[in-house]
Amino acid sequence: MLIWAGSFIFIKVGLRYLDPYNLAFYRFLIASPLLLAWVFWKRGVVKPNGFDWVYLSILALSGVTLLYAFQFLALKYTTATNASILINTSAVFVAIWGFVKGETNPWKVAGVFLSFAGVILIVSKGTLEFFSSKTLFGDVLMIIDGFLWAVYTVLGSKMLLKYDHETLTAYAFVLGTVFLLPFALYAGLANPFMLNSETIAALLYLSILCSVFAYVVWYYALSNADSTSVAVYVYLVPLFTAIFAFYALNERPDLFTAVGGIITISGVYLTTAKQHQ
């Protein structure tokens, strides 16, 4: 969680030199072959069936390409702290999908409304002049990011009936990198040999630590403990991010962000931790 919290800081650092699309592309261009090599070494080659490539492509678009293209763009316009909170709206979107399928309980309903109230407080900064917020555009993009992660989660849960977590993630990474290339070309493909040391450090942190090491640790934890016990640690990310952002980026969360963040994360907790009760 410390590593993932740091990602929002290093994205901000990387964006000082690279545009969002090149930063996302090079992150996964480094991470994809490393994770794929890990999976092949651990599990061997798993060849997807013909139509599975369609589902894998949707996973790649929702969980890598669009997710990170939007996230990196969002961080040009919003704070690292806001981003780390608002990405957790994915749990709310997953819960809403559960409502559609008839899977609901009072805790989920309460959690969705509570999270929604927290998000409104963060984005509006407590004012009725909603669209005057300086971070509005980036905040909205992060909420869209939460929706994309929910799509990835819901579809991924179905694909896990056929593939293990690591294999599914590796294929999503590889395809997602391919789909990111047009975005990077549109922005103007950056010359990797011309990057400064600060940007290289940011890319290595995001690719090796966040996209490979942290994912492997996450799946190791899931295989050795129940999912609810592991998932609850995600709620530490906004706290760690706020601390890092304060010292590294001189971001000082206002009262509305702090209170809204607590309300949002509390709502997310209700929609997830209470879903099996």
Whether residue 166 contacts residue 41, with contact meaning beta carbons closer than 8 Å, is answered with no
Q: Shortest CA distance to 70 belongs to which of 78, 134, 14, 112?
A: 78
Eight-state DSSP code of residue 207: I
pLDDT tens-digit readout, 3-58 = 999 999 999 999 999 999 999 999 999 999 999 999 989 888 888 888 899 999 99
Token pair for 247: 């010292």
Q: What is the pLDDT of residues 130-165, one digit of tens each?
A: 555 788 899 899 999 989 988 888 888 888 888 888
What does the block give as tokens for 167? Answer: 């294999």
Q: How many Å apart are CA 206 and CA 197, to the nearest integer?
A: 14
Q: Cα–Cα distance between 114 and 93 in angstroms, integer? A: 13
- For the stretch 169-198, pLDDT in tens is 899 999 999 999 999 999 999 999 999 999
pLDDT of 85 > 90? The answer is no
Buried b (16+ CB within 10 A) or exposed e, 28-51: bbbbbebbbebbeeeeeeeebeee
* CA quadruple 200, 67, 105, 222: dihedral sign: negative
Contact 93, 148 (CB under 8 A): no
pLDDT band of residue 273 (cuts 50, 70, 90) is low
pTM, two decimal places: 0.85
Q: Which of 203, 144, 261 is nearest to 22 (CA)?
A: 203
Question: DSSP labels for 180-243?
Answer: HHHHHHHH----GGG--HHHHHHHHIIIIIIIIIHHHHHHHHHHHS-HHHHHGGGGGHHHHHHH
DSSP string, 87-134: GGGHHHHHHHHHHHTT---HHHHHHHHHHHHHHHHHHHTT-S-GGG-T
Separation between Cα atoms, residue 71 and residue 143, nearest integer Å? 9
The CA distance from 138 to 258, in Å, is: 17
Q: Does residue 22 contact residue 196 with C-beta atoms inside 8 Å?
A: no
Q: Within its chain, how far is the Cα of 214 from the centroid?
A: 13
Lowest mean pLDDT across 11-25, 62-76, 218-232, 249-263: 218-232
Give the number of other Cβ atoms within 10 Å of residue 267's Cβ.
Answer: 26
Give the end-to-end CA distance of the chain in Å, rounded to a whole number.
Answer: 26
